[in-house]
Amino acid sequence: MREKIEEAVREAISSAPPRGFKESVDLAINLHNIDLSQPANRIDAEVILPHGRGRPSRVAVFAAGETAMRAKAAGADLVIPPDEIKELGNNKRTARKLAEQYEYFIAETQFMPGIGKSLGPILGKRGKMPAPLPPTADVTPMINRMRNLIKVRSRDRLTFHVPIGSRDMEVEQLAENVDSVITKLEQTLKDGRQNLKSVYVKTTMGPAKRVI
C-alpha cells in the first residue's frame, strides 16, 4: 500500500506545472455506502501528521497570567487576554478575521463560557471552538501537538478535502502523511475501508492521482 501511495504522490507532483506560490498537497476523499444525513456517521476526527503540513498550524490561546506567559514562551501565534473576548464578540468582522487566520484555539476553562457566548456562533460554525485547558495543565504540550494537527471533517458531504502537506516536502514524507489519514479514516468509518469509494492526491492546482 505504501508503494502505491508514494507512486500516486510522485505522479501528482511531477505532473503539476510549477506555480509562483507554495502549493499545498491535498487529499480528495470520496465516501459511499454510508448515510451522512445521520450525524453519528459523519467524520469529525483529528490526525497528527508525522511530518506536518509544510508549515506549522497557527495557534491562538485565550489566557491570562502565568498561562499567558507560558503560551508566549511556547510560541503561540497569538495570546488573547480575557478582557478582549467580549470586544471581539461585538466586532463580528474582527472575530471572523481571527477565525480565518488561526487553525486552532486553546482557552483556559474559566473563559470558555464567555467565549461560547461571544464567539460561539463564529468559531463553532467553523469547527474552531477552543480546546479547553484545565487550571493545572501546561499549555506547552497542547500547543506543540496542534502544530502538526489537522482536522478531518466530512460534515454531510460524501466528498471532502484534507490538507496533508506542501509540494516542497519529500515524497516519502507526504506518503507517510497520506497513510496516517487513510488509517484514521478506516478506524473512524462505520465499515472501515468499505466506506472509502476512492482517495485522490493532488497539489492545489495540479491534476488528481488516485491512491485507492
What are φ and ψ of residue 119, in 5° steps? -120, -5
Q: Which of 125, 146, 167 is the last residue of a domain?
A: 146
| Boundaries of domain holding 70 | 59-146
- 19-78 pLDDT per residue, tens: 889 899 999 999 999 999 999 999 999 999 999 999 999 999 999 999 999 999 999 999
Residues 77 and 137 in one domain: yes
Cell 497542547 belongs to which residue?
142
Kindly report, residue by residue over 138-194, the tens digit of the pLDDT: 999 999 999 999 999 999 999 999 999 999 999 999 999 999 999 999 999 999 999
Q: How many domains does the chain have?
A: 2
What pLDDT is stored for residue 13 in this prediction? 95
**pLDDT computed for residue 146 by the predictor:** 96
66, 109: one domain: yes
Say which CATH number the domain at 70 has: 3.40.50.790
Identify whether residues 178 and 204 lie together within a single domain: yes
Contact 107, 83 (CB under 8 A): no
The three cell numbers locating residue 193: 475501508
CA distance 190 to 55: 32
pLDDT digits (tens, 9 = 90+) for 64-116: 999 999 999 999 999 999 999 999 999 999 999 999 999 999 999 999 999 99
Answer yes or no: is pLDDT of 1 > 90. no
Last residue of a domain, one of 108, 126, 146: 146
Q: Assess whether pLDDT exceeds 90 at residue 2.
A: no
